[in-house]
């Protein structure tokens, strides 16, 4: 088992997974204020002050910390510029993890988000003893459904939910440690 603190940065094909930093503010704010990207997400856009504090906190927050979400950055591999982020949650008892993901529109359509999520799932399995990693999405979020299937997750549940006052269906996707 690896040490969670030593797992970043990680370079993949077309992306780098790395810690968020306060220097990421312009890029982070640009995509986090894109209404299209936030449509099915649990977060709301932050002020510059809030975002700076968040980026600073995530720069050193323990990764894979039981009971907590930690956000990591997806960056262009050459320039290091931030193009998106991935939230990682480890359950209190360390039995399962969950991921959430966002990629700036200009970086979409190249398979980068799927590759970054796949790498994150590998990182989670390598650094913890969880037996499954979940991804939960609104059923209307077709790009997210396609990504979850592309990374090898399978739909395990469909539940009725209310999101921002609207009835909706949430799909729970999962990949097991022992999946081939
Ligand atoms: C979900 C989201 C990250 C998907 O981004 P994406 O770039 O479409 O995702 P992928 O990395 O899987 O890329 C897939 C696309 O790249 C294309 N592609 C090009 N080259 C590719 C390659 N080598 N490998 C895989 N796909 C490739 C695919 O054909 C596909 O295009 P399509 O959507 O037109 O079919 C993005 O839509 C987003 O940020 N949405 C808002 C946030 C959100 O709702 N997140 C989910 C809630 S947790």
Residue nearest to atom 10 of ligand 1 (CA): 111
Residue nearest to atom 41 of ligand 1 (CA): 37
Q: Separation of 115 CA from ligand 1 center, angstroms?
A: 10
pTM score of the predicted model: 0.96
Point out the ligand 1 atom lying closest to the alpha carbon of residue 115. 11
Point out the ligand 1 atom lying closest to the alpha carbon of residue 108. 7
Report pLDDT for 142.
97
Q: Is the CB of 147 under 6 A from ligand 1?
A: yes
Tokens of 106: 């200009």
Report pLDDT for 7.
84
Report pLDDT for 91.
97
Report pLDDT for 180.
66
pLDDT tens, residue order, the chain (180 aa): 444 446 899 999 999 999 999 999 999 999 999 999 999 998 899 999 999 999 999 999 999 999 999 999 999 999 999 999 999 999 999 999 999 999 999 999 999 999 999 999 999 999 999 999 999 999 999 999 999 999 999 999 999 999 888 999 999 999 999 886
Q: Is the CB of 87 under 6 A from ligand 1?
A: no
- The domain segmentation of the chain, as residue ranges, is 4-176
Q: Is the CB of 152 under 6 A from ligand 1?
A: no
Strand boundaries in the chain, DSSP class E: 10-12, 15-18, 68-75, 82-90, 96-103, 132-138, 154-163, 166-176
Tokens of 79: 């320039």
Q: Separation of 103 CA from ligand 1 center, angstroms?
A: 8
Q: Separation of 110 CA from ligand 1 center, angstroms?
A: 7
Fold adopted by 4-176: Aminopeptidase (3.40.630)
User: Which residues fall within 8 angstroms of residue 28, CB to CB, at 6 or more apart?
Assistant: 20, 51, 55, 82, 85
Task: Report which secondary-structure segment, H or E, holds 86.
Answer: strand 82-90
């Amino acid at each position: 088992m690896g040490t969670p603190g030593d797992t970043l940065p990680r370079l993949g094909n077309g992306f780098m997974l790395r810690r968020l930093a306060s220097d990421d503010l312009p890029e982070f704010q640009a995509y986090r204020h894109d209404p299209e990207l936030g449509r099915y997400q649990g977060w709301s856009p932050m002020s510059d002050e809030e975002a700076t504090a968040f980026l600073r906190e995530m720069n050193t927050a323990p990764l894979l910390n039981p009971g907590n979400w930690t956000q990591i950055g997806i960056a262009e591999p050459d320039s290091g510029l931030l193009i998106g982020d991935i939230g990682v949650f480890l359950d209190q008892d360390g039995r399962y993890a969950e991921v959430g993901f966002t990629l700036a529109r200009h970086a979409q359509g190249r398979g980068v988000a799927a590759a970054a999520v796949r790498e994150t799932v590998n990182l989670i399995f390598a650094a913890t003893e969880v037996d499954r990693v979940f991804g939960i999405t609104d059923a209307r979020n077709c790009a997210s459904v396609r990504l979850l299937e592309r990374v090898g997750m399978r739909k395990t549940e469909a539940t009725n939910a209310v999101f921002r006052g609207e009835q909706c269906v949430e799909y729970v996707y999962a990949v097991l440690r022992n999946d081939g």
